[in-house]
Amino acid sequence: MKKKNINLPKGDFKSAFSLTTALTVIFLVLLFTVVQIEFMDDVFLLATKLNIADVTSRIQKLDFSDDAYKGKLSDYEAEFNVYLEIYSPRDVLIYTSQSNDTIYQGSSENGGELKPRIMKILSRTENEDGSYYEIRREMYASAEYLVYGCFFGDDMAMEVYYSVDVIIENAETASIALAVLTFLVVVVIFSFITFISNMFSLPLRQIKNTTKNMAELDFSEKCQNYRIKDIDELSASINTLSDKLSKTLDALKDENRKLEYDIQAEKKQDKARRSFIANVSHELKTPIAIIQGYAEGMKLGIGCDSTEEFCDIIIDESQKMNNLIMRLMEYMHFSSGAYKANRSVFNIRELISEILEGRAISLKEKNAAVIIEIDPSFVGFSDTILVENIFNNYLSNALSHLDFERVIRVTAKDMGGSYRVSVFNSGKHIPGTDIENIWQGFYRADKSHSRAEGRFGLGLSFVATMQDIMNEKYGCENVAGGVNFWFDIMKN
């Protein structure tokens, strides 16, 4: 048989809290009343026994050889509201409470001898140490007493009497007082129920409104601070959640804008790729057209006397086309992301010096004066293959644009976490419109240079690609007397 879901009526926090608190208080009052009725007499009986034990321990410490002990016993009786009987080792009553004639009889007709009144024992409880508790009633009266008897000293004995009626009266008085106090407490509790429920329900209503706004993606409203720790922590958590959700939404918006930017960048890259292909086609079309033209001229017998010259031109253009293809393959290799930098430790000055020695013929042909200003202690940690390629491209660029004093100065500067290697060449400045574009493939700032130099505008784009692989900086700036290209090398 299927269980049915019971839909209980829902109420607000204030009503639920008030009802729950009222029921709890009523239950506790009833429980307290039952306990009070059942156990109040026993509680006061136990309290009386504790008082008797206290007075007994004091009496046992008295010196009975000193006549002053009677005065102290009288004081104890008044303080604890008890009656005493003390017996000597021969069971002779040596002290009794003379003020209680209903219990004791002592007169001159008995020769001054103290005699206890005859009483009936109603109940008796013995302890392990020989002491005992008894409930006694006078033989000819209705008065009852709680009696505690014990032995102490040199076979001395003592009995302490406490009126049972006093115990009952005290218990009844305490019951009435507790009943009145309970009633007052109930009134006070019910008076505070509304106050406490309001103190909780108001913050909860405010928190509910705040979370409702959050559900509608409005994070402007915040929960207030309250004097209730748990609710204050809850409001703080909701405020934290609101801030994080707001930041997350802002981050998503930023990511969306970034995605739009990436889409635009991808469109630009696609445009750049198409431009790159067009540039490659253009660069290849020229030598192919020249080779085709001279080959057809030779076939038709045009310029028969210049056959050797035609062959030289065809070979030269073929070499240029081959160089271009090789450079393109190298560029695609580095820009594809397949190449992984293999870093090692090397001395920067020594590596630069070796490269310059290998380019000595080119430097001599260009009549270039080379100056090296690099601290011999500079040690880098990078891919030496990439570093050589970068420096060679900078050097080739410097030789192509060398002018005036025809000076090439190679320097290195400590930048903290890296060394900045600079290649300066004396010559004309790069126009401001061209500085940002020189890092693009096939871009040549100086259009006056003929293609006879075999330059395709790929060298600086190589530098940009290689430095990106090593996550290092690079740049160019016009300085007094020429142009300065630089790149960073990580320190060891």
Alpha helices in 301-359 (DSSP H): 307-335, 348-358
| 249/350 same-domain check | no
| 37/156 same-domain check | yes
| 316/344 same-domain check | no
Tell me whether residue 188 is in a domain: no
Q: Give the per-residue pLDDT at 100.
A: 40
Q: Between these two residues, 191 and 134, which has the higher pLDDT value?
A: 134
Tell me whether residue 166 is in a domain: yes
pLDDT in tens, 60-96: 888 877 778 888 888 888 888 888 888 887 678 888 8
pLDDT in tens, 252-269: 888 888 888 878 767 766
Contact 327, 333 (CB under 8 A): no
Least confident of 179-183, 277-281, 288-292, 437-441: 277-281
| 283/356 same-domain check | no
Q: Give the per-residue pLDDT at 187.
A: 77
Tell me whether residue 185 is in a domain: no
| 326/405 same-domain check | no
Tell me whether residue 263 is in a domain: yes
Q: Give the per-residue pLDDT at 411.
A: 93
| 451/382 same-domain check | yes
| 48/167 same-domain check | yes
Q: Between these two residues, 295 and 113, which has the higher pLDDT value?
A: 295
Tokens matching residue 91: 């069971």
Tokens matching residue 391: 């420096």
The range of the structural domain enclosing residue 368 comes to 339-490
Q: Give the per-residue pLDDT at 88.
A: 82
| 232/304 same-domain check | yes
| 299/420 same-domain check | no
Where among 146, 171, 196 does a domain terminate? 171
Q: How far apart are CA 393 and CA 408, in angstroms?
A: 14
**What integer is the mean pLDDT of 141-145?**
81
Share of the chain above pLDDT 70, in %: 70
| 307/351 same-domain check | no
**In total, how many domains does the chain have?**
3
| 229/252 same-domain check | yes
**SS3 label, residue 467:** helix
User: E strand or H helix at 407, and its extent?
Assistant: strand 407-414
Whether the per-residue pLDDT at 452 is higher than 60: the answer is no
pLDDT in tens, 310-341: 777 677 667 656 655 665 566 665 565 566 77
Contacts of 295 (CB under 8 A, 6+ apart): 314
Place 449 in a pLDDT band, splitting at 50, 70 and 90: very low
Where among 307, 337, 367 does a domain terminate? 337
What is the domain-level CATH number for residue 281? 1.10.287.130
pLDDT in tens, 19-37: 677 777 777 777 767 666 6
| 66/143 same-domain check | yes
Average pLDDT, the chain: 76
